[in-house]
């Protein structure tokens, strides 16, 4: 269990992010067309997982926009993961013109618990904490950041720099 804050108030996650050097746990998430996508669907590619509570908030939207803008230079697939329904993710990505990212919903999945990012108390209970995980082509964790304050953006440059290592 990790402690993070939401506007200065302590809340907790269900566990810990996978550590750098570890093999990432699998997942099954839902894409904008309601099809299931697994980690194996992205095999052989580097992956940037930007995990957010909901793209209906300004900071989550900023993260989506920033990773979309930087994705072309990243030589990796960028997965926007949140608890939003696939319809809401699709609407957000279309409205913002986000074409360099793949939105995936944790709807119908145990992703938050399996990856240690499910918020277990406070007003956002049941959603995911803000985090970034970068995976190699063979799903080894290259970078992991659990953002300590949900109202803050992640370290985009540090995450993307890990792709070059």
Assigned fold of 3-164: Glutaredoxin (3.40.30)
Give pLDDT, residue 76. 87
Q: What are the residue numbers of the active site?
A: 60
* Average pLDDT value for the chain: 90
| pLDDT higher than threshold 90 for residue 141 | yes
N residues, the chain:
165
Stretch among 34-48, 51-65, 132-146 having the lowest mean pLDDT: 51-65
Whole-angstrom distance, CA of residue 78 vs CA of residue 42: 10
In this predicted structure, the answer to whether residue 72 has a pLDDT above a threshold of 70 is no
Calculate what percentage of the chain has a pLDDT beyond 90. 59
Question: What distance in Å separates the CA atoms of residue 116 and residue 120, rounded to the nearest whole number?
Answer: 10
- Among residues 79, 54, 88, the alpha carbon closest in space to that of 132 is found at 79
């Amino acid at each position: 269990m990790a402690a993070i804050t939401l506007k200065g108030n302590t809340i907790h996650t269900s566990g810990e992010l996978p550590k750098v050097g570890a093999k990432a746990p699998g997942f099954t998430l839902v894409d904008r067309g309601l099809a299931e996508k697994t980690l194996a669907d992205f095999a052989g590619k580097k992956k940037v997982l930007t995990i957010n509570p909901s793209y209906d908030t300004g900071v989550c939207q900023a993260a989506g926009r920033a990773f979309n803008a930087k994705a072309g230079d990243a030589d990796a697939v960028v997965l926007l993961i949140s608890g939003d329904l696939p319809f809401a993710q699709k609407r957000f990505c279309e409205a913002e013109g986000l074409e360099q990212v793949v939105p995936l919903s944790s709807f119908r999945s145990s992703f938050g618990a399996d990856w240690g990012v499910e918020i277990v108390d406070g007003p956002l209970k049941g959603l995911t904490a803000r985090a970034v995980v970068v995976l190699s082509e063979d799903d080894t964790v290259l970078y992991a950041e659990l953002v300590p304050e949900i109202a803050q953006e992640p370290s985009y440059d540090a995450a993307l720099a890990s792709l070059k290592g």
